[in-house]
Chains A and B, each alone.
Chain A
Amino acid sequence: MLSNLFSIGIGHYLFVSGALFVMGMLGVLLRKNILVILMSIELMLNAVNVAFVTFAYYLNDVNGAVIVLFVIAIAATEAAVGLALVVLLYKNFKEVNIRFFEHLKG
C-alpha cells in the first residue's frame, strides 16, 4: 500500500484528475455566483486536460498533447465569451445569482 504511495503511476494522476473534475462539477451544480460557476467549468476542463496528458504520457502518444492544446485554446475562448455574457447580464440586471435567470421554464 505504501509502495503504491511512493511509486507514482497512471492511477495517481488520474485520481487527481477525477477529484478535480468532481470538484468542478460540484461547483457548477452548487454555487450560485455565475462567475464562480464559470471558474468551476475551467476546473473541469483542466481536469480533463490532466487526464489527457497523463494518458499521452503513459501511452507514449503525442496526440493527447495536441488535443490538450486545442482544449486550452477553446477553454480560453469559452472563458472570454462566458465572461462577456456575464458582463452583459450584470449590466442589465445587476445580478450574478444564477437563480435569478429562471425564465427558461415550462
Chain B
Amino acid sequence: MFYVLLFAPLLGFLINGFRFRSTNAKLAGTIASGAILLSFISALFYFGQLIKMPAEARSLSFILFDWIQVGDFSAQMGFTLDPLSMVMTLIITGVGFLIHLFSVGYMDHDERPAKYFAYLNFFVFNMLLLVLGNNLLVMFVGWEGVGLCSYLLIGFWFSDPEKAAAGMKAFITNRIGDAGFLLGIFTIFLTFGTVTFTEIASSVPAEPLTGWTSPITLACLFLFIGAMGKSAQIPLYVWLPDAMAGPTPVSALIHAATMVTAGVYMIIRMNVLFLAAPNAMMIVAIVGALTALMAATIGLAQNDIKKVLAYSTVSQLGYMFLAVGVGAFGAGLAHLMTHAFFKALMFLGSGSVIHAMHEEQDMRKMGGLKKYMPITHATFVCGWLAIIGFPFFSGFFSKDEILWMSFHSPRGHWLLWVVGVIAAMFTAFYMTRLMAMTFWGKSRVPESIHPHESPVTMTIPLIVLGFLSVFAGWLCVPHGLGSVLPGHPHNFLDQWIHPLMGKLEMGHGSLGMEFGLMGVSLVLVFASAFMAYRFYVVDPSLPQKAQARVKGLYDLVANKYWVDEGYFKFIINPLVRLSRHLWADVDVKLIDRATYSISDLFKNAGGGLRMVQSGNMQVYALYILIGVVVSLFFLMAR
C-alpha cells in the first residue's frame, strides 16, 4: 500500500512519458489524476492507521534498499510516515489531485498535454520523496527532483525564450540553495555521524548552543540557505515571480502549495536541531519577516495578476519562516496548510480568469469579471478573505497565531510583530486591489475577448479549495482564541505534530495582550483593505495621484527594488565577463602561448642548429679543425 502511495505518481509519469506525443488531454489527464487519486486514497488509508495509534508511537517506516554506503556513511532509500509527513502527504496528494483535475480543462488545447501531465506526476513523486524520506539524503533527492520538475514545467512552453530563461533561472537559483543544503548535510553528518532524522533529533544536545560557529548553528544556517532557495526567501526569491511563466496550474501546485513550502517543512522537520541553535533561528525569523514585508510591498505595484500572486506567495512564505524562526512550528505548519489551500485556490482562480481572457494576464485589461465568472469570483472571494485574515476564515487563524507567537515566543521580538503586521496590512491592500482590478468595478476587457465561465473540471477544484480555505482554519485554532470561542476548539494540528517537536518553553502570555494585538492588526488590515477598495473601485483616479505623489518610492517598488538588475549587474555579468577573460586571456593567451613558446624554443634551437649543417664542406672541415684544436688543447693542458 505504501508503495502505491509513493510510486503511483511515478507510474503515471512513466505511462504519460512514453506516450508524450499524444495530444489527448482527457486521456493523459485521467491517467495522471488517477495516479494521484490512488496516492491520495492510500495516504488517507495510512492517515486512518496513524490515528489509531497512540500519539507517541505514530510512525511507520519503510526501507526500500541501502542507497549509498561508504565507510561509516550510510544512507538508505528509507521512508517514514509520521504525523508531520502525513500532513504534508495529504496536502500534496489532495491539493495535487485537485490541480491535476483542473489541468485537464486548462490544458485541453495544448499541443503536448501528455508531457505536461507526465512532468506534473513526476513532480508529485519527487515531492513525496522529499516529505517522506527518513533521512536528509532522500530529502535532498526530492529536493533536487522538485527543482528539476519545476525547471521543466516553468519552461514547458519553451519556444518562448523568456519562459525557457525563467526555468533556467529557477533551477540555478535553486541550485545555489541546494549547494547550501549539501553543506548542511555534510556538517550534520560530521557532527552527529548520521543523516537520519530520528537519530539526529535524539543526539542533539538539550541545551541550546549560543555562538555563531558551533557546528549546529552552521548546519542550520546551511540548511536555511537551501530553504532560501527552495522557498524563495531574500536574497534568493527572484526566481519565483519569473516562474509564473509556467502554466498556471503549475504555479498553483509547485509555486504556491507544495514545492516552495519545502523549506518550511524542512525546518519543521529539523526543529530539534534549530531549537539548539538560537542564532540560526533568529536569522530565519529576521529573513522571514523581511521577506514578508518586502515581497508585500512589491506586490502593491504589480499589474500582472500572476505576479501579484507570486509576490504574495513569497510574502506568505516569509510569514511561515517568521513562524518557524520564532519556534512556532505548529503555526508555521498551519499557515503552510491554509496557504496551500487558499493560494492554490487563487492561482487556479487566476488560471480560470486567464483561460477565460485568452491568456491575458494584465489586470489593467480586466475588471468587472464578476458577472461573467460567478463561480470563479465566489471562490476567489473566499481565498481573498482567507489571505487578508478576515476573522474565522482559515488565514485568520494561522496568521494570527504567527503574529502572536512572533511577539510572545521567547525567541520572538516585538519588532518582528511590527514588521509582520505591516506586511499583513500591505497584503490586505494588494489583494483587495487584485480583486478590485480583476472582478469588480468597470470592465476594461478589450472588445475582442468574451470572458466565459470555465468548464466543470475547472470549477470543481475551485469549489473544493474554496471550501477548504474557508474552513480549514478550524483545524488550527490558536489556543488563546480557542478558549473563548464557543465549543472551545482545540489546535488539532499542533497536537497532531506535537510528539515530533522539540521543547521550547513558551510561558503564559496574557489573553488580554493577545486579543489587544489581534485587534490592532485587524483594524489596520481592514483600514488598508478599505483604502484599496476606495482607490480601485470607488475612485479609480486616486491611484494615479498617489503614485505621482510618491513617485520615487513607487518606481522603486514597481521595479522590484532593482534586485534582478542588481544581480545581473553585480554578479552575473561580471562573472560572464570574467569567464570570457579566463577563456581568451588565460587559456588562449597565457597557457597556450606559454606552451607555444616552449615548443618555439625547441623549434628555434633546431633552426639554429640547422644553420650549422650548411652544406659548405669547408665549414665542415672547420668543425673538424675546431674539434682537433679543442681536443689537443685538453690533451696538452693535462
How far apart are A78's CB and chain B's nearest CB, in angstroms? 16
> In the docked arrangement, what's the CA distance between A30 and B621, Å?
10
Are A102 and B618 closer than 8 Å at their CB atoms? Answer: no
Contact of A30 among B613, B614, B618 (CB under 8 A): B618
What residue of chain A has the Cβ atom nearest to residue B616's Cβ? Answer: A102
* Chain A residues, Cβ within 8 Å of B618: 28-30, 98
Q: Does B638 contact A (CB under 8 A)?
A: no
Q: Does A25 contact B (CB under 8 A)?
A: yes
Are B625 and A101 closer than 8 Å at their CB atoms? Answer: no
> In the docked arrangement, what's the CA distance between A99 and B610, Å?
18
A-B contact count (CB 8 A): 25
* Chain B residues, Cβ within 8 Å of A30: 618
Are B613 and A105 closer than 8 Å at their CB atoms? Answer: yes
Are A106 and B610 closer than 8 Å at their CB atoms? Answer: yes
Are B616 and A25 closer than 8 Å at their CB atoms? Answer: no
Secondary structure call for the B interface = helix
Are B616 and A99 closer than 8 Å at their CB atoms? Answer: yes
What residue of chain B has the Cβ atom nearest to residue A105's Cβ? Answer: B615
* Chain B residues, Cβ within 8 Å of A98: 616-618
Are A103 and B615 closer than 8 Å at their CB atoms? Answer: yes
* Chain B residues, Cβ within 8 Å of A2: none
What residue of chain A has the Cβ atom nearest to residue B613's Cβ? Answer: A106
How far apart are A94's CB and chain B's nearest CB, in angstroms? 19
Q: Does A5 contact B (CB under 8 A)?
A: no
> In the docked arrangement, what's the CA distance between A28 and B625, Å?
11
Q: Does A104 contact B (CB under 8 A)?
A: yes
Are A102 and B625 closer than 8 Å at their CB atoms? Answer: no
Size class of B's contact patch?
10 to 19
What residue of chain B has the Cβ atom nearest to residue A25's Cβ? Answer: B625
* Chain A residues, Cβ within 8 Å of B575: none
> In the docked arrangement, what's the CA distance between A25 and B625, Å?
9
* Chain A residues, Cβ within 8 Å of B601: none
> In the docked arrangement, what's the CA distance between A34 and B625, Å?
19
Are B615 and A104 closer than 8 Å at their CB atoms? Answer: yes
Q: Does B513 contact A (CB under 8 A)?
A: no
Q: Could you tell me which residues of chain A, from 50 to 106, have a CB within 8 Å of some CB in chain B?
A: 98-99, 101-106
Q: Does B572 contact A (CB under 8 A)?
A: no
How far apart are A70's CB and chain B's nearest CB, in angstroms? 23
* Chain A residues, Cβ within 8 Å of B613: 105-106
> In the docked arrangement, what's the CA distance between A101 and B618, Å?
11
A interface size (C-beta, 8 A): 12
Q: Does B598 contact A (CB under 8 A)?
A: no
Using an 8 Å CB-CB cutoff, how does the interface string of B601-620 with A read, 1 for contact, 0 for none? 00000000010011111100
Are A105 and B617 closer than 8 Å at their CB atoms? Answer: no
Q: Could you tell me which residues of chain A, from 27 to 54, have a CB within 8 Å of some CB in chain B?
A: 28-30
How far apart are A45's CB and chain B's nearest CB, in angstroms? 15
Are A105 and B621 closer than 8 Å at their CB atoms? Answer: no
Q: Does B590 contact A (CB under 8 A)?
A: no
> In the docked arrangement, what's the CA distance between A105 and B615, Å?
4
> In the docked arrangement, what's the CA distance between A105 and B621, Å?
14
What residue of chain A has the Cβ atom nearest to residue B619's Cβ? Answer: A29
* Chain A residues, Cβ within 8 Å of B614: 102, 105
> In the docked arrangement, what's the CA distance between A84 and B625, Å?
26
Q: Does B622 contact A (CB under 8 A)?
A: yes
How far apart are A28's CB and chain B's nearest CB, in angstroms? 6
How far apart are B498's CB and chain A's nearest CB, in angstroms? 92
How far apart are A23's CB and chain B's nearest CB, in angstroms? 14
What residue of chain A has the Cβ atom nearest to residue B622's Cβ? Answer: A29
Contact of B615 among A28, A29, A102 (CB under 8 A): A102
What residue of chain A has the Cβ atom nearest to residue B609's Cβ? Answer: A106
> In the docked arrangement, what's the CA distance between A98 and B613, Å?
16
How far apart are B388's CB and chain A's nearest CB, in angstroms? 92
* Chain A residues, Cβ within 8 Å of B615: 102-105
What residue of chain B has the Cβ atom nearest to residue A31's Cβ? Answer: B618
> In the docked arrangement, what's the CA distance between A103 and B614, Å?
9
How far apart are A39's CB and chain B's nearest CB, in angstroms? 15
What residue of chain B has the Cβ atom nearest to residue A37's Cβ? Answer: B618
* Chain B residues, Cβ within 8 Å of A102: 614-616
> In the docked arrangement, what's the CA distance between A25 and B621, Å?
9
What residue of chain B has the Cβ atom nearest to residue A99's Cβ? Answer: B616
* Chain A residues, Cβ within 8 Å of B617: 98, 101, 104
Are A29 and B625 closer than 8 Å at their CB atoms? Answer: yes
How far apart are A24's CB and chain B's nearest CB, in angstroms? 12
* Chain B residues, Cβ within 8 Å of A99: 616
> In the docked arrangement, what's the CA distance between A103 and B615, Å?
6
* Chain B residues, Cβ within 8 Å of A105: 613-616
* Chain B residues, Cβ within 8 Å of A106: 610, 613
How far apart are A59's CB and chain B's nearest CB, in angstroms? 21
How far apart are B625's CB and chain A's nearest CB, in angstroms? 7
> In the docked arrangement, what's the CA distance between A30 and B618, Å?
7
> In the docked arrangement, what's the CA distance between A29 and B610, Å?
21
> In the docked arrangement, what's the CA distance between A9 and B621, Å?
32
Using an 8 Å CB-CB cutoff, how does the interface string of B575-616 with A read, 1 for contact, 0 for none? 000000000000000000000000000000000001001111
What residue of chain A has the Cβ atom nearest to residue B614's Cβ? Answer: A105
* Chain B residues, Cβ within 8 Å of A101: 617
> In the docked arrangement, what's the CA distance between A25 and B617, Å?
13
> In the docked arrangement, what's the CA distance between A106 and B615, Å?
8
> In the docked arrangement, what's the CA distance between A25 and B618, Å?
10
What residue of chain B has the Cβ atom nearest to residue A26's Cβ? Answer: B625
> In the docked arrangement, what's the CA distance between A99 and B621, Å?
13
> In the docked arrangement, what's the CA distance between A28 and B610, Å?
23
> In the docked arrangement, what's the CA distance between A99 and B615, Å?
9
How far apart are A42's CB and chain B's nearest CB, in angstroms? 16
> In the docked arrangement, what's the CA distance between A4 and B286, Å?
115
* Chain B residues, Cβ within 8 Å of A28: 618, 621
Additional pairs, 17, CB under 8 Å, beyond known A99-B616, A102-B615: A28-B618, A29-B618, A29-B621, A29-B622, A29-B625, A30-B618, A101-B617, A102-B614, A102-B616, A103-B615, A104-B617, A105-B613, A105-B614, A105-B615, A105-B616, A106-B610, A106-B613
Residues of chain B whose beta carbon lies under 8 Å from any beta carbon of chain A = 610, 613-618, 621-622, 625
Residues of chain A whose beta carbon lies under 8 Å from any beta carbon of chain B = 25, 28-30, 98-99, 101-106
A-B contact pairs, 19 of them (CB 8 A): A25-B625, A28-B621, A29-B618, A29-B621, A29-B622, A30-B618, A98-B616, A98-B617, A98-B618, A99-B616, A102-B614, A102-B615, A103-B615, A104-B615, A105-B613, A105-B614, A105-B615, A106-B610, A106-B613
Q: Name the 9 nearest CB pairs between A and B, nearest first.
A: A105-B615, A102-B615, A106-B613, A104-B615, A106-B610, A105-B613, A105-B614, A29-B618, A29-B621
